[in-house]
Structure 1
Amino acid sequence: MSSEAVLDIGGTTDAWLQSLVTESSAIDPNQENEPEIPRVPSEFRWMTENSDCYDPLVVSIGPYHHGKENLQEMEKLKAKMAGQFVSDRRQDADEMYSKVKELVSDARECYAEESTRQFYDEEFAQMMFLDGCFILEVIFNKLQKQKLTKDEVTSVTRDLFLLENQLPFQVLIPLMRIYLTSGHYSAVERRTSSSKQSWSSERIDRELVKTMEEFFKTIHEIPLHRESCWEKISNFLKSLRSKDTDTVSELDFYHHLLDFFYFKFVYGEGQHQRESRSNREITSWYRYYSVNELKNVGISFAPSNTSVFVDVNFKNTSLGGAIRIPPLNIEDSTKSLLLNLAAYETCAGWSGKCTSYLCFIRSLIDKPEDVKELRWKGILRTTIGTDDQIANIFKEMTTNLAPNPSAYRDVKNYVESYFRSTIHRFIFQNKSRISEAVVKYSFIYGIAVSAIQAYLSETKQRPDYGICSCSNATLLHH
């Protein structure tokens, strides 16, 4: 709605109301709220503590940050890497660039409209091509050959997972497919000896998915997942079944690199169905308890073995219960990655799995001692900062975030039941007295047991002495 309709209050009421109706009718109800690659919402950028988490440090991808002065050094490297590629495989490069030019109109629609107006089609195609070549070099581990410091390589990886720094997969995937079948990717040679020219499109995409997943292993925020024997058998059987079925290309499902990461490690692998924008489910109100409060009523914490790092669950144990949380590495780029995932799902209008995860972990951390307990249990693996600083990072990340009230409902129900339980509440309120009583009566019990054992030992020995006396008396009598 335009500001003129709202501010034009000098006329008659009927005219003002009519202007409101006119403005609202001009809005297309079928218009999408956000492009596939949206801008970071303003409410995320308002927080000064997190203001450095959304802009690239060394490299720009796409139009949003293109041309910034502090990113020009990497633009030179992009041109150098693309030039090397063109000189090595000119025919393949021509095919790739022609493909990009065909997709210019579709690629423009993936970004906010005002960000692409300044580029002519040829300029936009060149930007897409250079950025695509650069991402290919990073994914296929060729960036290591460039003269970059370790910190610069880390910053590049961090920048590739910013919401405003994405390249549409509809541009990148065709480049990757041509790249793979042209013989550039030597890693495939090590996995198979068959001719790449005879591969089906599904097989090519499976190889690309493997390559992407190998690249994701360099993102240290992903928990290490060790498959059990049963999981290996199950996954093997799934792979056999997948060979016999024709499925839609998996790569075509994703919008961009951050989207791929989200569906693999936040939404859950195999959950290839996008949520629709809908009102969040309203559930009961839950109280929040810190790690040490839960520990005091018999609830422990343990790392779980899953590749989805937001997968939190509750498991009953013989002594109480355990909240199982996948391990999370806290590094320099962790805050940026998690906030960009949260911003992305906010733009998409999804249920907010990453947002709810951050808020849940924040609810467990009241003091540095809570961080210490999670570290000791192997859930938080930190390489930066003190326990107090880690607690502050989660506090900063969750400022102004609104979790889905139905998220982790089962876990919250279990936790709440422990605190509503009379027995657990009594133990929680009288923990020190119970401990003293246990020590006291254990001491008394120990003394009593020792006395009984001494008495029984004495009574067992007395009959033996009696028999000996009688025998001696009989011998003397005779």
Structure 2
Amino acid sequence: MVAVFNKEVLSWYLLAVKLNETVQANLPRSQPSTPGSPFRPPPPPPIYFTRGEPIPEELQRQEEEEDEEGKDEEEVRVVVAVAAAAPRVESEWAISVRDRLEQARHEEAAVPWSRFSIYRVPKSLREGDEKSYVPQVVSIGPYHHGKRRLRDMEHHKWRALYRVLRRTGHDVRLYLDAARVLEDRCRACYEGRMALSSDEFVEMLVLDGTFVLELFRGAAGGAGEGFRDLGYDRNDPVFAMRCTMHGIQRDMIMLENQLPLFLLDRLLGLQIGRPDQHGFVARLAVRFFDPLMPTDEPLRKADRARIESSTRAAAESFDPLTETGLHCLDVFRRSLLRTGPKPEPRVWIRRWSHTRRVADRRRLQLIHCVTELREAGIKFRKRKTDRFWDIKFADGVLKIPRLLIHDGTKSLFLNLIALEQCHSDCSKDITSYVIFMDNLINSEDDVSYLHYRGIIEHWLGNDGEVADLFNKLCLEVVFDFDDSYLSELSERVNRYYNHRWNTWSASLKHRYFGNPWAVISLIAAVFLLLLTCVQTYYSVYAYYRPP
């Protein structure tokens, strides 16, 4: 322990102590010593010197030694005093630590972890592509509420609320009171603390919820008729089927831009006079987000009848209307997976990855790319179904449904993957499909061939942009390939790929049967070879057996 002293103060203090000792030494000791007390010899009598008389050197040396001893004693006293004060400082620090632990305990008990459904996208996922997770036109919910670049849409929300009140004849307090009742339940759906007060939060719920419902109901009418039926002008800048609607749809499908579905059900129920209804908002949401669907392949009647007759019970597990969804993104995800059961994931462990069950795309390779699979003799065909994730493999033919890629596909897939990464009750089906396609597509040539086969249709600039899109979708995604519904299919494809005879036969077909001229050349070469063999035979035969 280090003690810092003021020399001037310490000198005066020692002088006062020395003077006190001198005075005490000159006082008479009149009290007798009690029995048992230690014997103390009387102090030596003081020695007086006249002014001008020199002090002996022995006495001077004795006084200096006594002064040094006195200084040492005082320093020890000060150090002891500082040491005695040190535990008080440590106890205050320990008290602050306990206070923080108590605060953490209260926060742990107050946060409803199991009720989270609308998450903030983790930084590990959003690095390098912030725009795909952050709304650019309209904010829905508290995460991006009040941001400057999104304030232009606020007065349109007030217009929507005014239109609803005018159309229904209700008082605004009816909706505010209903949202107030659901306030705590709504707050529990969001992650982290929110700076909005109770009144601000309730106002935000009513404004945003009414705006969303007006868009849903207007788009359900089709071709702009729905908005006109609700009382909006055909040239309305927001509530009309205009070019801005695509940007609004893309923002409203983002994970951080959601409202709880039960709130939307309550607000819509108040508008139509059935406060306890549920399921209607989910139907409206699926129809509103239909332009964002990654496929436009209609389901054939034969397939639809087969699915409905043989797998009705299993298909219900993918129907967004049979269960209460979390929010619009969750409803849209369920609608993507609604039209039939997927194969259950099968636990399979490859020898080269026995100790790596959980991995990202840098370590996980479910399947080889298109170019390598073609060299092994695997063929690619388009599968006619509206289930873009339903991939089949049999007899060396990989059948993949058609995938439509537009400027909103990247944001859609990223937010679906973020939902599956954050919400523990979600399966990883969309993540499995995206990783599978990422493995298939490594270059622009892979995209070009899939486009040639009708498997990929895109509205981007070139095939290289599509390859770059898939190669960046799952950069920081943690994924267990045992949970993938495509794990068994990938295993069968890899077994076919590793069979040497398949590679040799594919190489023969690619080199000699790639086009008609190569086939004709091969047939001519074989015919000439046969003629040469016949000619050689008769020449040798005539030599040994002349006519």
TM-score when normalising by structure 2: 0.63
Matched, 1:166 2:258: yes
Matched, 1:53 2:132: yes
For 1:335-370, what per-residue CA distance to the aligned partner results, in whole angstroms no more than 9, with x for missing partners? Answer: 111100101110013452222222211111121111
**Structure 2 Cα separation of the partners of residues 400 and 281 of structure 1:** 23
For 1:117-140, what per-residue CA distance to the aligned partner results, in whole angstroms no more than 9, with x for missing partners? Answer: 4222x2211111111111111111
For 1:230-289, what per-residue CA distance to the aligned partner results, in whole angstroms no more than 9, with x for missing partners? Answer: 5247648999x9xxxxxx9947621100011122214x45779xx9xxxx9673245632
| Residue in 2 that maps onto 1:298 | 377
Of residues 113, 120, 128 in structure 2, which corresponds to 1:32?
113
User: Quick check: 2:375–2:507 contact (8 Å CA) kept in 1?
Assistant: no
**Structure 1 Cα separation of the partners of residues 441 and 279 of structure 2:** 40
1:383-398 matches, within 5 Å, as 383-398=459-474
Q: 1:421 to 1:376 in 2, by over 3 A?
A: same
User: Quick check: 2:286–2:335 contact (8 Å CA) kept in 1?
Assistant: no
| Residue in 2 that maps onto 1:472 | none
Three-state SS of the structure 2 residue aligned to 1:253 is coil
**Structure 2 Cα separation of the partners of residues 161 and 39 of structure 1:** 14
* 1:219 CA displacement: 1.9
**Structure 2 Cα separation of the partners of residues 262 and 220 of structure 1:** 10
| Residue in 1 that maps onto 2:454 | 378
1:279-428 matches, within 5 Å, as 283-284=349-350, 285=353, 288-314=367-393, 316-317=394-395, 321-349=396-424, 350-406=426-482, 407=484, 408-428=486-506
| Residue in 1 that maps onto 2:203 | 126
* 1:173 CA displacement: 1.2
Q: Structure 2 stretches of 5 or more lacking a match?
A: 1-89, 220-225, 229-233, 314-318, 354-364, 532-547
**Structure 1 Cα separation of the partners of residues 152 and 166 of structure 2:** 22
Three-state SS of the structure 1 residue aligned to 2:331 is helix
Which stretch shifts more, 223-232 or 403-412? 223-232
**Structure 2 Cα separation of the partners of residues 322 and 432 of structure 1:** 16
| Residue in 1 that maps onto 2:356 | none
User: Quick check: 1:170–1:252 contact (8 Å CA) kept in 2?
Assistant: no
User: Quick check: 1:352–1:404 contact (8 Å CA) kept in 2?
Assistant: no
User: Quick check: 2:137–2:251 contact (8 Å CA) kept in 1?
Assistant: yes
| Residue in 2 that maps onto 1:214 | 287
Three-state SS of the structure 1 residue aligned to 2:196 is coil
Q: 1:420 to 1:53 in 2, by over 3 A?
A: same
Matched, 1:259 2:337: no
User: Quick check: 1:222–1:265 contact (8 Å CA) kept in 2?
Assistant: no
Which stretch shifts more, 300-309 or 252-261? 300-309
**Structure 1 Cα separation of the partners of residues 104 and 153 of structure 2:** 46
* 1:430 CA displacement: 5.2
For 1:49-93, what per-residue CA distance to the aligned partner results, in whole angstroms no more than 9, with x for missing partners? Answer: x22100001100010000001101111111111111111212286
| Residue in 1 that maps onto 2:143 | 64
Which stretch shifts more, 407-416 or 58-67? 407-416
Q: 1:296 to 1:66 in 2, by over 3 A?
A: same
**Structure 2 Cα separation of the partners of residues 430 and 303 of structure 1:** 25
One-letter amino acid matched to 1:329: L
Count of matched residue pairs: 398
* 1:378 CA displacement: 2.1
Aligned sequence identity (%): 27
Aligned CA-pair RMSD: 4.1
* 1:422 CA displacement: 2.4
**Structure 1 Cα separation of the partners of residues 481 and 132 of structure 2:** 26
Of residues 130, 133, 157 in structure 2, which corresponds to 1:78?
157
One-letter amino acid matched to 2:391: V
Q: 1:23 to 1:82 in 2, by over 3 A?
A: closer
| Residue in 1 that maps onto 2:248 | 156
Three-state SS of the structure 2 residue aligned to 1:369 is helix
Three-state SS of the structure 1 residue aligned to 2:285 is helix
Higher relative contact order (CA 8 A, sep 6+): 1
One-letter amino acid matched to 1:412: S
**Structure 1 Cα separation of the partners of residues 177 and 340 of structure 2:** 33
User: Quick check: 1:299–1:323 contact (8 Å CA) kept in 2?
Assistant: yes
For 1:370-396, what per-residue CA distance to the aligned partner results, in whole angstroms no more than 9, with x for missing partners? Answer: 111111222221112211111111122
**Structure 1 Cα separation of the partners of residues 511 and 325 of structure 2:** 58
User: Quick check: 1:85–1:93 contact (8 Å CA) kept in 2?
Assistant: no
Matched, 1:106 2:185: yes
| Residue in 1 that maps onto 2:27 | none
For 1:122-172, what per-residue CA distance to the aligned partner results, in whole angstroms no more than 9, with x for missing partners? Answer: 221111111111111111125684224844211100011000000001101
TM-score when normalising by structure 1: 0.71
User: Quick check: 1:427–1:434 contact (8 Å CA) kept in 2?
Assistant: no
| Residue in 2 that maps onto 1:231 | 304
| Residue in 2 that maps onto 1:193 | none
Three-state SS of the structure 2 residue aligned to 1:218 is helix
One-letter amino acid matched to 2:285: M
**Structure 1 Cα separation of the partners of residues 167 and 124 of structure 2:** 46
* 1:229 CA displacement: 3.2
For 1:389-425, what per-residue CA distance to the aligned partner results, in whole angstroms no more than 9, with x for missing partners? Answer: 1111112222222333122112211211112212113
One-letter amino acid matched to 1:304: R
1:240-251 matches, within 5 Å, as 250=321
User: Quick check: 1:37–1:110 contact (8 Å CA) kept in 2?
Assistant: yes
Three-state SS of the structure 2 residue aligned to 1:301 is strand
**Structure 2 Cα separation of the partners of residues 24 and 313 of structure 1:** 54
**Structure 1 Cα separation of the partners of residues 379 and 526 of structure 2:** 30
For 1:24-50, what per-residue CA distance to the aligned partner results, in whole angstroms no more than 9, with x for missing partners? Answer: 99566996277111110111122x1x2
**Structure 2 Cα separation of the partners of residues 236 and 55 of structure 1:** 42
For 1:296-317, what per-residue CA distance to the aligned partner results, in whole angstroms no more than 9, with x for missing partners? Answer: 3222223334444333232x24
For 1:81-107, what per-residue CA distance to the aligned partner results, in whole angstroms no more than 9, with x for missing partners? Answer: 111111121228654443222111111
Three-state SS of the structure 1 residue aligned to 2:479 is coil
Three-state SS of the structure 1 residue aligned to 2:137 is coil
One-letter amino acid matched to 1:258: L
Which stretch shifts more, 379-388 or 420-429? 420-429
| Residue in 1 that maps onto 2:83 | none
